[in-house]
A = this chain, B = another copy of it.
Amino acid sequence: MKIAILPGDGIGPEIVDQAIKVLNALDEKFEMESAPVGGAGYEAHGHPLPEGTLKLAKEADAVLFGAVGDWKYDTLDRPLRPEQAILGLRKNLQLFANLRPAILYPELAGASTLKPEVVSGLDILIIRELTGDIYFGQPRGVRAAPDGPFQGAREGFDTMRYSEPEIRRIAHVAFQTARKRGKRLTSVDKANVLETFQFWKDIVTDVHKEYQDVALEHMYVDNAAMQLVRAPKKFDVIVTGNMFGDILSDAAAMLTGSIGMLPSASLDANNKGLYEPSHGSAPDIAGKGVANPLATILSAAMMLRYSLNRAEQADRIENAVKKVLASGLRTPDIHEEGTQRVGTTEMGDAVVRALA
């Protein structure tokens, strides 16, 4: 079992270090190899996703990813910007299924901007399709408008597309995942306006025939954004396209108030995956030793569960994190009165101790 380690930029390296420490504290040892990605890839090899990094990610059984991005790369041409590495990895590794849990740990209920009764016990899972939609659809660019009321004017354009096999495979992942949880799936679309999502809705409805034990509900994306604010606990599993999933999964994460706690998995058809915290590279606090490493440590747990088939080890890590939270340790992002403020390394060390 080989793990590709891509720490990236900003707080990426320091939080990934903690996850490595936790993995190394398990009985079984995993082979790990690091490579630069994002801004670090650009610095080292002139490209956010250097060839060697992509090769390593392809060969490995799983990828542990930190975060990418820093203001200093904002002026680069788009193909050279750090976030292109994420898009490139998703596309090249065909990581079409993005799983993003939004879980509110009881100890952290106060961190949410929502009232405790609205979010306490929150446990929803957003499944976002990750290799299709308007993210990758061709054609796209800037041109003279070929028709319409502004024919001839310069316009930017992109293509939203979803094919039947793409929708089917993500729908299967969603139904199978819902089956292992609360057996309720909400498919989010905009079928009242978009052809792509009327088609999406039709195919999801068809796949549902194979999963009659799962309750399927269709919801428009604008309504889903409202219901996430109004009554998020009514959801169990949400499945949606790449663009809507980008927006809704971030909104859902923020409901918990502790995005520093939330892991994510991006899987291919064989459960090979890339694992990364749901938060970004936070260049403003990079190198200060204050970043919360728990989302990355929990991403490593997801990796053990989904890609490395080590559910027991995953449970151990998740329980260790719960113990540490219960003991009152908090990085600054989740610190409250009456709890003990610790730094990145101390938090990692505490999880290692709690594993024992």
Bound: A140/B249 CA distance, A: 27
Other A-B pairs, 15, CB within 8 Å; known A158-B196, A222-B249: A113-B114, A113-B115, A113-B229, A114-B115, A134-B134, A150-B166, A153-B163, A155-B161, A157-B160, A157-B161, A159-B159, A221-B247, A223-B250, A225-B251, A225-B254
Question: Which of A153, A161, A197 is packed against the most chain B CB atoms within 10 Å?
Answer: A161
Contacts of A83 in B (CB 8 A): 192
Bound Cα distance from A196 to B142, whole angstroms: 8
Identify which of A142, A159, A257 gathers the most chain B CB atoms within 10 Å of its CB.
A159
Q: Which residues, 169 to 222 on A, are CB-close (under 8 Å) to B?
A: 190, 192-200, 221-222
Residues of B within 8 A of A195 (CB): 140-142, 156-158
Residue A135 lies at the interface, judged by CB distance under 8 Å to chain B: yes
0 or 1 for each of A113-133: is its CB under 8 Å from B? (1 = yes): 111001000000000000000
Task: Among A115, A156, A161, A228, find the residue whose CB has the most chain B CB atoms closer than 10 A.
Answer: A156
Question: In whole angstroms, how far apart are the Cα atoms of A137 and B159 in the complex?
Answer: 10
Chain B residues with CB under 8 A of A159 = 157-160
A interface residues with partner B (beta carbon < 8 Å): 78, 81, 83, 87, 113-115, 118, 134-135, 137-138, 140-142, 145, 147-148, 150, 153-166, 190, 192-200, 221-223, 225-226, 228-231, 243-244, 246-251, 253-255, 257, 259
Asked if A156 contacts B200 (CB within 8 A), the reply is yes
By a CB distance below 8 angstroms, the chain B residues around A160 are 134, 157-160
Residues of B within 8 A of A165 (CB): 150, 153
Q: Are A199 and B115 in contact (CB under 8 A)?
A: no
Q: Are B229 and A246 in contact (CB under 8 A)?
A: no
Known: A78-B198, A156-B162. A138 touches B148 (CB 8 A): yes
Contact B142 A199 (CB under 8 A): yes
Chain B: which residue is nearest A152 at the CB level?
B163
Q: Which residues of B contact A147 (CB under 8 A)?
A: 138
How distant is the Cα of A69 from the Cα of B156 in the complex, in angstroms? 33
Residue of A162, A223, A226 contacting most chain B CB atoms (<10 Å): A226
Point out the residues of chain B lying under 8 angstroms from A141, CB to CB: 195
Expressed in whole angstroms, the Cα–Cα distance for A115 and B150 within the complex equals 45
| Interfacial chain B residues near A138, Cβ < 8 Å | 147-148
Q: How distant is the Cα of A147 from the Cα of B140 in the complex, in angstroms?
A: 14
- Some 16 contacts from A to B, beta carbons below 8 A apart, are A87-B193, A115-B115, A134-B134, A137-B157, A145-B163, A150-B166, A154-B164, A155-B162, A156-B197, A157-B161, A158-B160, A222-B246, A222-B247, A225-B225, A229-B251, A247-B247
